Amino acid sequence: MSDPPQYILEGLEKQSPETLREIAQIATEMAEKKERQLEAELEDEKVADRPKDLDRDDAPISATLTTKKINGNQYYYWQWREGEKIKSEYIRPVDAK
């Protein structure tokens, strides 16, 4: 984690404990919103890159298309979360011949 800019720290030092707690809540909400936006952008990129022959209807609910490199070869997998566990389902090699 990098240190916040000095001008932000100087401004924070002048605040009351109550205001600092409010700022912390706002900062947490802003960080979560930015993370959701980044995840949505990454998902949009994955959808755009998805091969046309991979039918989304065959995928588990909430799965995203991922690739894994194993022994120098790349393979497509559906990947999703079930509770705390990440599940994967093999689809086919990336270079299907």
The 10 Å Cβ neighbour count of residue 93 is: 13
Q: How confident is the model at residue 13 (pLDDT cuts 50, 70, 90)?
A: very high
- Please check whether residues 67 and 44 belong to one and the same domain: no
Q: How far apart are CA 69 and CA 47, in angstroms?
A: 19
Q: How confident is the model at residue 22 (pLDDT cuts 50, 70, 90)?
A: very high
Locate 88 and state its tokens. 């994967």
Output the pLDDT for position 28. Answer: 92
The whole-chain average pLDDT of the chain stands at: 83
Are 77 and 90 in contact, with CB atoms under 8 Å apart? yes
Query: What distances in angstroms separate CA 33 from CA 2, 5, 39, 62, 64, one per listed residue?
Result: 20, 21, 10, 20, 20
Q: Give 69-91 pLDDT, tens digit per residue.
A: 889 898 988 888 888 888 888 98
- Please check whether residues 34 and 69 belong to one and the same domain: no
Looking at the structure of the chain, the number of domains it has is 2
Mean pLDDT (whole number) for 48-66: 71
- Please check whether residues 94 and 59 belong to one and the same domain: yes
Model pTM?
Answer: 0.45
Mean pLDDT (whole number) for 26-40: 86
Question: Domain of 73?
Answer: 53-97
With left for phi above 0 and alpha for psi between -120 and 50, is residue 68 left, alpha or beta?
beta
- Please check whether residues 6 and 43 belong to one and the same domain: yes
- Please check whether residues 41 and 64 belong to one and the same domain: no
Output the pLDDT for position 15. Answer: 95
Locate 20 and state its tokens. 């600092």
